Structure 1
């Protein structure tokens, strides 16, 4: 997979920006994890979950990747239900 498989059509501007940012992280591994999650879930996220995802994408790639792959525990600031959903989603997809 080389990028988003989801059209941004029908999404509000906030979700469009977030979808783009999830696919353009800076490291390919994080593009695949967050981008695939956003493709699948962005339209159904609540406003609160969108806010939480916006905070998560500000976490540096090495720190977030290490937490998602269980190399180290997540920082309390971003551990939560959405983080757990992303981690579970990652486990059902590609081995990144």
Structure 2
């Protein structure tokens, strides 16, 4: 299996950020992705990719602080929340 070209990966992650199912998560994640994906290293992209596999109902509760974020995503969700609150 061949590795995904970085440019393709960034485009795929950007698209997945924009087409979530819950409009609020579309807005929050697409803004974060646009501002940050290009500067992320492979490990950070792997973590973001894994986050995108999570359920939107869980994501919105984590980003808004209604529920605690699971440990693997704590730092990432914190950064996403800061981006969201800065708008």
Distance 1:62 1:41, change over 3 A: same
Rounded to whole Å, the distance in 2 between the matches of 1:74 and 1:43 is 24
Q: Which residue of 2 aligns with 1:41?
A: 36
Q: Following superposition, which runs of at least 4 residues in structure 1 exceed 6 angstroms of deviation?
A: none
Of 65, 80, 86, the match for 2:80: 86
What TM-score results when the alignment is normalised by the length of structure 1? Answer: 0.79
CA RMSD of aligned residues (A): 1.2
Structure number with higher helix proportion: 2
Q: Which residue of 1 aligns with 2:54?
A: 59
What TM-score results when the alignment is normalised by the length of structure 2? Answer: 0.87
Rounded to whole Å, the distance in 2 between the matches of 1:49 and 1:77 is 11
Long gaps (5+) in structure 1: 1-10
